[in-house]
Amino acid sequence: MAHLFRFIGNKVDGRWHLDPDECHHFLKVLRLQDQETIEVCNGEGLWAIGVATIESKTRVGFEPREEFYEERAKKKYSIAMGAIKPGDFDDVLPSLIELGVDGIHLFRQSGGDKARVTEKTLGRWEKIAKTAIKQCKRSYLPQVIYHDSIDQLVKGFPAFDKCMVLEASAPPLVEGLDDNWNRCLAVLGSERGLNQAERELLKSHQCIEVSIAPYVLRARTAAISFASIIAHSQHGI
């Protein structure tokens, strides 16, 4: 099957529209031609195959031939990371999305730099997330959420029926990975790890300790490894 470029767009009043940034990417970056066959996805499960029509120097239309709707996965897994350097997170984010992570949470740890995650940073991460779902052909855009503290993070724990915290000395994740969950969250610290107070807080909210290797892993390695193990258990990939 020939490769088809995928773009982000929306269907409004029965008509598809490519986002302005996507029109620019089509025209100025990829330099595709009129009547090019492409895919368009709205990031909420709906996508279509059809023909792009160049309407102006800045606008691209889309005429769908076939439309599809992909149901959300019944089991959704998320990751919460102590805030690492924004540039480092830029690198790990696409891998987590390609592995099917439903939500990526970052939280500021005690003593962390409060000012380093800005609205501009969050906007950049949203663009990276959109690029990642186009690349891997996911139909849902995962959320990237920043929490100002770990206390703010744990307020959202009731939304999950299984919460885990990664700890090198704990039992292996595969031993505790039963099938009795629909929404799962794994918590890990930044490169400096979680302090004792943070661990006690997580335990008090029924977070179970698990490990994915007998060694101390970097935050990005731990996050990708967790996502890989869960993806394999659910999809056999």
Domain harbouring 126, CATH code: 3.40.1280.10
Give the other-Cβ count within 10 Å of 228's Cβ: 16
Name the pairing type of β-strands 60-69 and 46-54.
Answer: antiparallel
Mean pLDDT over residues 160-178, rounded?
Answer: 84
Whether residue 120 has pLDDT greater than 50: yes
CA dist 97 and 66 (Å) reads 25
- Give the pLDDT band of residue 85 (cuts 50, 70, 90): confident
Number of separate domains in the chain: 2
Q: Strand, coil or helix: what is 184?
A: strand
Residues 161 and 224 both lie in one domain: yes
Residues 55 and 156 both lie in one domain: no
- Give the pLDDT band of residue 113 (cuts 50, 70, 90): low
Residues 54 and 115 both lie in one domain: no
pTM: 0.88
Residues 185 and 124 both lie in one domain: yes
Whether residue 161 has pLDDT greater than 50: yes
Residues 55 and 80 both lie in one domain: no
CA dist 84 and 188 (Å) reads 11
CA dist 153 and 188 (Å) reads 12
Residues 31 and 56 both lie in one domain: yes
Read off the pLDDT of residues 216-232 as tens digits, 9 standing for 90 and up. Answer: 888 899 999 999 988 88
Residue with tokens 């206390």: 151
Range of the domain at 194: 76-235
User: In this predicted structure, which of 20-34, 36-50, 61-75, 104-118 has the lowest mean pLDDT?
Assistant: 104-118
Residues 60 and 123 both lie in one domain: no
Neighbour-count burial of 157, counting CB atoms closer than 10 A to its CB (0-12 exposed, 13-18 middle, 19+ buried): middle
The answer to whether position 33 is within a domain reads: yes
Q: Which helix (H) or strand (E) holds 229?
A: helix 219-235
Residues 114 and 50 both lie in one domain: no
CATH code of the domain covering residue 11: 2.40.240.20
> What is the predicted pLDDT for the residue at 236?
52
Domain termination site, one of 44, 69, 94 = 69
> What is the predicted pLDDT for the residue at 237?
46
Whether residue 97 has pLDDT greater than 50: yes
Residues 163 and 201 both lie in one domain: yes
The letter for the amino acid at 118 is T
Q: Strand, coil or helix: what is 20?
A: helix
Residues 62 and 92 both lie in one domain: no
Q: How many residues does the chain have?
A: 237
